Structure 1
Amino acid sequence: MPVSLAPQVMEIARYLDGQDNMYRKLEPFEDEDSPDYDCAKEMEFRYLHCCAERLGWEKKQLQREVESLKAQLKSAKKQRLRAL
């Protein structure tokens, strides 16, 4: 990973860690009107942002599946105890 992307990757990691608000927007690090604006960097950032959103969605889906499996396991244990 290029060192120049480290701040963006860390921001995405923090975003994923606090994924409670899935639709929170990540803001670009530079203003388009700035003389230091880097279009390639902005495009990479937007790509990473999309990846982060997708990973956040997948994380939520997996959490739902885990909760569903836990509920099924609990139900199966209750039925097994009743059968004994």
Structure 2
Amino acid sequence: MSLSQIDLNLLLVLDTVLSERSVVRAVQHLHVTPSAVSNSLARLRSLLGDPLVIRSGRGIVPTPHAASLAPALKRALSEL
């Protein structure tokens, strides 16, 4: 996978979902539709080969891979 294959908006969605620990709150924060967040996560899952988040009760839990990406992702987005 090349970095040129990744839309930076997908990374913003992932960062928000991981920070909020909720797709519903991510939707509200990003001002997009639930299907937009779902589609973004699906594209990232395909690109990264990982489920990224798992439903847990009323929220979500990051997979170990997503959890390991979260700090670098947050830093990179804040620097941009």
The TM tier, using the shorter chain, reads 0.3 to 0.5
Q: TM-score, normalised by structure 2?
A: 0.33
Q: TM-score, normalised by structure 1?
A: 0.32
